């Protein structure tokens, strides 16, 4: 057993599972903001029911997503002490800001939003949700700042064998940041739109009594997903230039790549400095899925006079196509992260110098333990989401008025 391989597998497992929670959270909160804003502006109770229904699914995913994030941070600190020691002064700055934003501001706003139903004015309650959304985007931004530094280290100098931050604004203008952040955000909107469209399609196929509710959310989901896939494609293809400039070895060989490999060989010794085939495979399949999902635009004309519902087969396509954006975001992560190999910080710190000096059996035990824990959280999350989504929008627990009969059930008697 190879300690480095086990550590890499553990990192890939934990971050992949956590990333699925992140894109759902970021996508759904954006749609929730739009729906609740429509409710406050129009006063239409339909939008209130939609806010309560989708808000409940959002809260489930958020709570369990926070748990996966904490688990991921533990394995990150335990397995990659070399990374923390060498670049912690630079890499830790955006991560610290993200922690303050996500675990304090975002969670506080969300808690007040959850318990503020029927206690706060509508405008104040809506402002809290806007706060949740803005801090969620800020959290994603700072994570991408940290990740982009690993992709293209800037604004630092090495003193006594340790990287020190010397130019904070350079982190924010990193060439590998802007388009990548737009790509992640638009991918999250695609996931949120597809999830909303698929759940709505499920209820419309079953012909549930809440036809008007899910007809509206179907239209919102389809329009959002169609717009988002165009942004995904645009930001995705726009990254090839900046990424190829700062990472010449990522997309194949060439004069710049050969010169860089020669420099690394002289500095770090002989080795394989080309990315694994897996990176290009992930990139290829991600592009294939992204181009295929462009067919979402064909559904927009079918929204006229509800042909998308009357024909029924488009509803099945939306339902069966739900896994595709999730698969695409994981493949995109593989292309970005594996394509950086064999570096944890590109051209600066090889992965074999970043891993903690831990025995292979111990690393294997932690891999199994963390994978089981995160797998359990993921299964629990999707089970709860599926269960509450299947119940429909009749009377979700979120936003239920005080004194509602469902809250006045007698306590069970104990012998």
* The pLDDT of residue 412 is above 50: no
* The pLDDT of residue 105 is above 70: yes
Which pLDDT band holds residue 188 (cuts at 50, 70, 90)? Answer: very high
> CB of 344 within 8 A of CB of 351?
yes
Alpha-carbon 81 to chain mean position: 25
3-state SS class at 70: helix
Positive or negative torsion for Cα 280, 285, 286, 292: positive
What residue has token string 């797998």?
Answer: 375
Helices (H), 80-121: 81-100, 107-115
Pairing status of strand 156-159 against strand 162-165: antiparallel
Looking at residue 67, its pLDDT comes to: 85
Which distant-in-sequence residues (6+ apart) come within 8 Å of 409 by Cβ?
none
Which distant-in-sequence residues (6+ apart) come within 8 Å of 109 by Cβ?
128, 129, 131, 132, 135
| pLDDT one-digit tens code per residue, 65-85 | 888 888 777 777 788 888 888
Q: N- to C-terminal Cα distance for the chain?
A: 54
| pLDDT one-digit tens code per residue, 354-392 | 998 889 999 999 899 989 999 999 999 999 999 999 998
What does DSSP assign to residue 394?
S
Say how many CA atoms lie within 13 Å of 381 toward its Cβ: 24
364 vs 5, 76, 126, 227, 369, CA distance in Å? 10, 15, 46, 43, 9
For 164, phi then psi, to 5°, come to -125, 140
Domain boundaries, the chain: 3-388
Q: Which two tokens stand for residue 227?
A: 């717009």
Helices (H), 80-210: 81-100, 107-115, 122-151, 168-172, 178-205
Q: What is the mean pLDDT of the chain?
A: 90
Which distant-in-sequence residues (6+ apart) come within 8 Å of 298 by Cβ?
none
What residue has token string 């990333």?
Answer: 19
Which distant-in-sequence residues (6+ apart) come within 8 Å of 325 by Cβ?
23, 187, 190, 191, 194, 289, 293
Which pLDDT band holds residue 403 (cuts at 50, 70, 90)? Answer: low
Residue closest to 228 by CA, chosen among 185, 267, 164: 185
H or E element, residue 349 = strand 349-350
| Angle at which helices 107-115 and 45-79 cross, to 10° | 150
Which pLDDT band holds residue 406 (cuts at 50, 70, 90)? Answer: low
Angstrom distance (rounded) from CA 131 to CA 355: 37
Q: Is the peptide bond before 342 cis (omega within 30 degrees of 0)?
A: yes
Residue closest to 326 by CA, chosen among 160, 206, 188, 139: 188
Which pLDDT band holds residue 239 (cuts at 50, 70, 90)? Answer: very high
3-state SS class at 271: coil
Higher per-residue pLDDT: 278 or 52 = 52
Which pLDDT band holds residue 405 (cuts at 50, 70, 90)? Answer: low
What residue has token string 């009749």?
Answer: 394
H or E element, residue 238 = helix 211-238
* The pLDDT of residue 313 is above 50: yes
Global confidence as pTM: 0.93
Looking at residue 275, its pLDDT comes to: 85
């Amino acid at each position: 057993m190879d300690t480095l391989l086990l550590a890499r597998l553990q990192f890939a497992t934990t971050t992949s599972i956590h990333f699925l929670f992140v894109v759902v959270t970021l996508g759904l909160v954006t749609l929730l903001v739009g729906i609740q804003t429509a409710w406050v502006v129009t006063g239409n109770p339909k939008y209130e029911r939609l806010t309560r229904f989708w808000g409940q699914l959002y809260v489930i995913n958020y709570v369990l997503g926070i748990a996966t994030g904490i688990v991921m941070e533990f394995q990150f600190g335990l397995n990659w002490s070399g990374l923390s020691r060498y670049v912690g002064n630079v890499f830790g700055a955006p991560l610290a800001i993200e922690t303050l934003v996500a675990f304090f501001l975002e969670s506080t706003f969300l808690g007040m939003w959850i318990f503020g139903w029927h206690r706060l004015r509508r405008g104040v309650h809506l402002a809290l949700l806007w706060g949740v959304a803005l801090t969620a985007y800020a959290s994603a931004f700072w994570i991408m700042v940290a990740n982009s530094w690993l992709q293209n280290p800037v604004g630092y100098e090495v003193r006594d064998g340790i990287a020190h931050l010397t130019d904070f604004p350079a982190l924010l203008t990193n060439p590998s940041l802007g388009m990548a952040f737009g790509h992640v955000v638009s991918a999250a909107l695609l996931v949120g739109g597809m999830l909303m469209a698929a759940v709505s399609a499920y209820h419309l196929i079953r012909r549930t009594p809440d036809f008007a509710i899910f007809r509206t959310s179907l239209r919102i989901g389809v329009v959002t997903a169609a717009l988002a896939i165009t942004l995904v494609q645009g930001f995705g293809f726009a990254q090839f230039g900046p990424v190829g400039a700062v990472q010449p070895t990522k997309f194949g060989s060439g004069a710049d790549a050969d010169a860089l490999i020669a420099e690394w060989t002289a500095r770090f010794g002989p080795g394989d400095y080309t990315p694994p085939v897996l990176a290009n495979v992930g990139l290829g399949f991600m592009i294939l899925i992204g181009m295929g999902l462009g067919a979402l635009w064909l559904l927009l004309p079918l929204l006229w006079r509800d042909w998308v519902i009357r024909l029924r087969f488009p509803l099945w396509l939306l339902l069966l196509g739900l896994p595709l954006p999730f698969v695409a975001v994981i493949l995109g992560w593989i292309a970005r992260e594996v394509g950086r190999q064999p570096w944890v910080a590109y051209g600066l710190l090889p992965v074999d110098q970043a891993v903690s000096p831990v025995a292979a059996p111990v690393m294997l035990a932690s891999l199994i333990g963390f994978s089981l824990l995160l797998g359990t959280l993921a299964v629990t999350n999707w089970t709860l989401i599926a269960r509450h989504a299947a119940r429909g929008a009749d009377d979700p627990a979120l936003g239920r008025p005080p004194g509602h009969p469902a809250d006045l059930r007698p306590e069970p008697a104990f012998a």
